[in-house]
């Protein structure tokens, strides 16, 4: 009998119908993504069940429903731990699922926490500070130019041509704007002027490996090299994506990405964003432990395609990794019960 895989996700249209604006739900998935993911998982020989959001998951778990594995791409809506909500609910019910656990999902969504963990692992990341209120700026001792963005957002939300900061007055003005707009702290980083790349990683622990590296180049130089919310939303017109050329620099980039992924204890698959500093050294920016999975528009599937990995093989590798992890966990639990009895 084939395994049944439940799908947890946040559907963008559902939230738009409830009155949320486009930017608030920018990280959520389209019908096209869910349809492709569902069809692909079934093509691999599994049965599927569309669960939907965390609220739907809670109702169905209380009703006693269970699945052999939950393929989780739910982003959540409120709070800096929103990506941890579905994994935490599943762990409460001892239900196996794909991707990272609640601690990792929460720590990586808070960009400052992720940078501290990476820095403490001895890896390079730009100098940074966090402003929870305008008064915190008095203690910021970073070299201009700076770069500011909301602490716990994705999809480039809060990032535009005003994100690069050249003086204290500009910093104060922009931080106030972001605090008011996003109701969360602001991350302030020393600006990284070099090339931007994103690295796909597959697997868990000792089995983790780099899938490939994709470079991101804005077509319009007047955008100042800032990969903004607008450029991500209109990437077909504004952005050029291409494989980073092989060589020593790519090797350093991929080493940093894999080490960061491991230091943050990500699982099954993820994407690490890296940018070069003014001396050409790769610096960790952030990691996405719940990468987008639209077959042709999301970065991780795009990296897989450029490396010759079909979409079905990418999804299959994520499922295989998650099932192997959970079999290992089950075996450990059995050994512990046997030892205790």
For 294, residues 6+ apart whose C-beta sits below 8 A from its C-beta are: 29, 30, 32, 33, 36, 301
C-alpha–C-alpha distance, residues 267 and 324, integer Å: 11
Per-residue pLDDT at 232 exceeds 80: no
DSSP conformational letter for 97: B
The per-residue pLDDT of the chain, averaged, comes to 93
- Per CATH, the number for 4-97 is 3.40.50
Instruction: Give, in order, the Cα–Cα distances in Å from 150 to each of 34, 155, 262, 264.
Output: 28, 11, 25, 20
Instruction: Give the 3-state secondary structure of residue 243.
Output: strand
For 125, residues 6+ apart whose C-beta sits below 8 A from its C-beta are: 115, 118, 119, 283, 284, 285
pLDDT band (50, 70, 90) for residue 223: low
Intrachain domains 4-97 and 127-190 with the same fold: no
Distance of CA 201 to the CA centre of its chain: 12
Choice among 105-109, 233-237, 245-249, 292-296 with the minimum mean pLDDT: 233-237
Angle, helices 299-306 vs 311-340, to 10°: value is: 110
Instruction: Report yes or no: 264 and 117 within 8 Å, Cβ to Cβ.
Output: yes
- pLDDT at residue number 227: 83
C-alpha–C-alpha distance, residues 117 and 128, integer Å: 13
Instruction: Report yes or no: 259 and 205 within 8 Å, Cβ to Cβ.
Output: no
CATH match for 99-123+193-341 among 3.30.470.20, 3.40.30.10, 3.90.550.10, 3.40.250.10: 3.30.470.20
Per-residue pLDDT at 280 exceeds 90: yes
- pLDDT at residue number 340: 47
b/e per residue 164-196 (b: at least 16 CB within 10 A): bbeeeebbeebbeebbeebebbbbbbbbbebbb
b/e per residue 251-269 (b: at least 16 CB within 10 A): ebbbebbbbbbebbbbbbb
More confident residue, 290 or 160: 290
Instruction: Give the 3-state secondary structure of residue 53.
Output: coil
- pLDDT at residue number 324: 95
The domain locations on the chain are 4-97, 99-123+193-341, 127-190
The pLDDT > 70 percentage for the chain reads: 94
- Per CATH, the number for 127-190 is 3.30.1490.20
Find the mean pLDDT for residues 122-150: 96
Per-residue pLDDT at 62 exceeds 50: yes
C-alpha–C-alpha distance, residues 283 and 209, integer Å: 19
C-alpha–C-alpha distance, residues 154 and 187, integer Å: 13
- pLDDT at residue number 224: 67
Choice among 89-93, 119-123, 218-222, 265-269 with the minimum mean pLDDT: 218-222
For 295, residues 6+ apart whose C-beta sits below 8 A from its C-beta are: 33, 36, 301, 311
More confident residue, 332 or 36: 36
pLDDT in tens, 67-120: 999 999 999 988 899 999 999 999 999 999 999 999 999 999 999 999 999 999
Edge-first strand order for the sheet with 239-243 is 239-243, 209-218, 196-202, 269-276, 282-288
């Amino acid at each position: 009998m084939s395994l049944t895989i439940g799908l947890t996700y946040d559907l963008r249209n559902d939230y738009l119908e409830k009155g949320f604006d486009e930017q608030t739900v920018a990280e959520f998935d389209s019908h096209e993504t869910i349809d492709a993911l569902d069809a692909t998982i079934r093509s691999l020989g599994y049965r599927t069940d569309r669960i939907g959001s965390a609220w739907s998951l809670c109702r169905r778990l209380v009703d006693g429903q269970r699945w052999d594995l939950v393929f989780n791409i739910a982003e959540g809506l409120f709070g800096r731990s929103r990506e941890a909500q579905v994994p935490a609910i599943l762990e409460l019910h001892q239900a196996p699922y794909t991707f990272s656990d609640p601690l990792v999902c929460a720590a990586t969504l808070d960009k400052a926490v992720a940078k501290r963990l990476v820095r403490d692992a001895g890896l390079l990341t730009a100098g940074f500070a966090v402003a929870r209120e305008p008064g915190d700026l008095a203690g910021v001792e970073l070299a201009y130019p700076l770069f500011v963005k909301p602490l716990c957002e994705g999809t480039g939300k809060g990032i535009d041509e005003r994100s690069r900061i050249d003086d204290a007055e500009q910093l104060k003005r922009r931080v106030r704007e972001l605090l008011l707009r996003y109701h969360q702290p602001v991350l302030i980083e020393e600006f990284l002027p070099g090339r931007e790349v994103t690295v796909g990683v597959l697997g868990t622990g000792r089995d983790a490996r780099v899938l490939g590296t994709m470079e991101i180049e804005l077509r319009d130089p007047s955008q100042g090299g800032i990969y903004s919310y607008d450029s991500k939303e209109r990437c077909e017109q504004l952005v050029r994506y291409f494989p980073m050329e092989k060589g020593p620099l790519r090797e350093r980039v991929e080493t940093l990405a894999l080490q960061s992924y491991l230091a943050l204890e990500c699982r099954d698959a993820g994407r690490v964003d890296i940018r070069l500093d003014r001396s050409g050294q790769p610096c960790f920016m952030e990691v996405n432990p719940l990468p987008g999975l639209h077959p042709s528009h999301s970065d991780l599937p795009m990296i897989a395609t450029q490396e010759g990995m079909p979409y079905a093989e990418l999804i299959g590798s994520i499922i295989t990794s998650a099932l192997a992890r959970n079999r290992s966990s089950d075996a450990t639990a059995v050994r512990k019960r046997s030892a205790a009895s």
